[in-house]
């Protein structure tokens, strides 16, 4: 079968890999000159199965209100005259109830665990080098109340099979000695040894090369403008995709099936053919620094709870990422936010990196209100969705690619997840159980 994948981020590229493995003839289209140039470019790089709590949780509404007017708040909702933003916001609030949050966490953990296993298998199979660190994720706290509350979150993760254990400040510094400089401020941490980190851009680029070697075609500098439909009711389908090619010419490309994996931009494209995806961009920032003193720079991936930053060592670079603005599609850099990241990183690891020459970046997380992505069949029989991976697209990307390839091929994915469309109803008991460890 001929399959066109729309979007070459981590999700589209992983989809392409598993689709061609399943024997399909795959073409991937992207508006950028290469893969992984938008949100999958310079993110926090954590594979964090054990930190699957979505932004929508019972404590979120109050925090959001407190942060509403602060320019450097970790999560900022800037109200706009934008109907989608308001609808998204209301649905977000609905996902904050304890029941919905618990349901969403279970979904995300199941997909994230499946995805990590898939990533590990892919790494072994392809040998892709991507500055991978398998030393776990340490989430540290400087506020006693937040640490107190984290004990319940860690217990929930253990109940779901993730070995996330709370540790005291001394143990935190033993696990990551680079935290010694802030030992007096630490109140505790939780640690998951099985979590990982690695450069999503390098990985996706390596995977795309492996795809090309196996016959997948990548068409770059090509903008997807429209999905053309035919038929009606239950027999409606996608007839072709309209694109503007690298020379500015309109063209129609045809396939038997289409996979929509355009991150935040899946929403406006799908809307035009009557599919109402609840995806809104959540802008985040990262800063990348060259390491000057390796011994003072962390290698265990870290989450700084107070500042909502994630920190990953990528070879001779340190990546620090975080913050979120629900404020439209602009990727403009806000200097206040950029400087706040550098100030905090310098405070945590003085003299470790070259803080005079940071490389700042911003990206748009494709956020659903629940942080659970759309994976499955749409109401057009040959259009499949793999989009809306929000804060965890790197963590969930490889597994999502594998699952959508199964669905496109008419197979049931080996994973207990509420897939979009008809496959959702086919699931009964857990088909993959998360092994309890630790």
**Contact set with ligand FAD (CB under 6 A):** 7-12, 29-32, 37-40, 43-46, 223-224, 261-263, 265, 284-286, 310, 321, 363, 365-366, 387, 389-395
Instruction: Give the shortest CB-226-to-ligand FAD separation in angstroms.
Output: 10
> Please, which residue, 51 or 169, has the CB nearer to ligand FAD?
51
**Helix, strand, or coil (residue 10):** helix
At 43, give phi and psi (nearest 5°): -85, -170
Instruction: Give the shortest CB-286-to-ligand FAD separation in angstroms.
Output: 5
Q: How far is CA 205 from CA 22, 36, 67, 114, in A?
A: 21, 7, 37, 22
- Give just the sign of the alpha carbon dihedral 200, 203, 375, 329: positive
Q: Which residues pair with 257 in a beta bridge?
A: 3
Instruction: Give the shortest CB-298-to-ligand FAD separation in angstroms.
Output: 14
Instruction: Give the shortest CB-12-to-ligand FAD separation in angstroms.
Output: 5
The answer to whether residues 382 and 24 touch, using CB atoms and an 8 Å cutoff, is: no
> Please, which residue, 169 or 264, has the CB nearer to ligand FAD?
264
> Please, which residue, 391 or 423, has the CB nearer to ligand FAD?
391
Instruction: Give the shortest CB-95-to-ligand FAD separation in angstroms.
Output: 17
Instruction: Give the shortest CB-429-to-ligand FAD separation in angstroms.
Output: 28
At 215, give phi and psi (nearest 5°): 110, 0
H or E stretch at 346: helix 335-348
Instruction: Give the shortest CB-284-to-ligand FAD separation in angstroms.
Output: 3
> Please, which residue, 187 or 361, has the CB nearer to ligand FAD?
361
Task: Report the distance separating Cα 438 and Cα 435, nearest Å.
Answer: 10
> Please, which residue, 169 or 415, has the CB nearer to ligand FAD?
415
H or E stretch at 118: helix 98-126
Q: How far apart are the first and last CA of the chain?
A: 44
Beta-carbon-side half-sphere exposure of residue 394 (alpha carbons within 13 Å)? 25
- Give just the sign of the alpha carbon dihedral 361, 387, 124, 434: positive
Instruction: Give the shortest CB-265-to-ligand FAD separation in angstroms.
Output: 3
Q: Which residues of 338-360 are buried (b: 16+ CB within 10 A; e: fewer)?
A: bebbbebbeebbeebbebeebeb
> Please, which residue, 327 or 391, has the CB nearer to ligand FAD?
391
């Amino acid at each position: 079968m001929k399959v066109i994948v729309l979007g070459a981020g981590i999700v589209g590229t992983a989809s392409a890999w598993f689709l061609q493995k399943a024997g399909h003839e795959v073409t991937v289209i992207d508006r950028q000159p290469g893969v992984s140039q938008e949100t999958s470019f310079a993110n926090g790089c954590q594979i964090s199965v054990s930190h699957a709590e979505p932004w929508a949780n019972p404590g979120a509404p109050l925090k959001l209100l407190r942060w509403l007017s602060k320019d450097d708040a970790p999560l900022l909702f800037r109200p706009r005259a934008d109907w989608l933003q308001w609808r998204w916001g209301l649905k977000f609030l609905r996902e904050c109830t304890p029941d919905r949050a618990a349901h969403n966490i279970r979904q995300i953990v199941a997909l994230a665990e499946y995805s990590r296993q898939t990533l590990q298998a892919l790494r072994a199979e392809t040998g892709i080098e991507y500055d991978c660190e398998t030393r776990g994720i340490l989430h540290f706290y400087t506020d006693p109340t937040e640490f107190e509350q984290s004990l319940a979150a860690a217990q929930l993760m253990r109940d779901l099979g993730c070995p996330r254990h709370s540790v005291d400040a001394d143990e935190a510094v033993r696990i990551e000695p680079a935290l010694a400089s802030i030992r007096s401020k630490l109140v505790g941490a939780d640690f998951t040894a099985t979590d990982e980190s690695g450069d999503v851009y390098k990985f996706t680029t390596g995977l795309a090369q492996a795809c090309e070697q196996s016959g997948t075609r990548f068409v770059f500098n090509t903008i997807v403008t429209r999905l053309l439909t035919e038929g009606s009711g239950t027999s409606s389908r996608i007839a072709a995709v309209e694109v503007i090619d690298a020379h500015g010419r309109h063209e129609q490309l045809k396939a038997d099936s289409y996979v929509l994996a355009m991150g935040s931009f899946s929403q406006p494209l799908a809307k035009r053919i009557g599919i109402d995806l609840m995806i809104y961009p959540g802008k985040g920032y990262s800063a990348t620094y060259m390491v000057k003193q390796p011994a003072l720079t962390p290698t265990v991936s870290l989450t700084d709870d107070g500042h909502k930053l994630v920190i990953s060592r990528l070879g001779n670079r340190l990546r620090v990422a975080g913050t979120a603005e629900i404020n439209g599609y602009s990727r403009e850099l806000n200097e206040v936010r950029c400087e706040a990241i550098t100030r905090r990183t310098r405070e945590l690891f003085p003299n470790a990196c070259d803080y005079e020459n940071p490389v700042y970046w911003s990206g748009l997380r494709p956020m659903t209100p629940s942080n659970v992505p759309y994976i499955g069949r749409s109401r057009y029989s040959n259009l499949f969705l793999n989009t809306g991976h929000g804060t965890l697209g790197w963590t969930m990307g490889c597994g999502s690619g594998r699952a959508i390839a199964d669905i496109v091929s008419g197979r049931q994915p080996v994973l207990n997840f509420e897939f979009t469309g008809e496959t959702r109803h086919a699931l009964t008991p857990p088909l993959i159980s998360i092994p309890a460890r630790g």
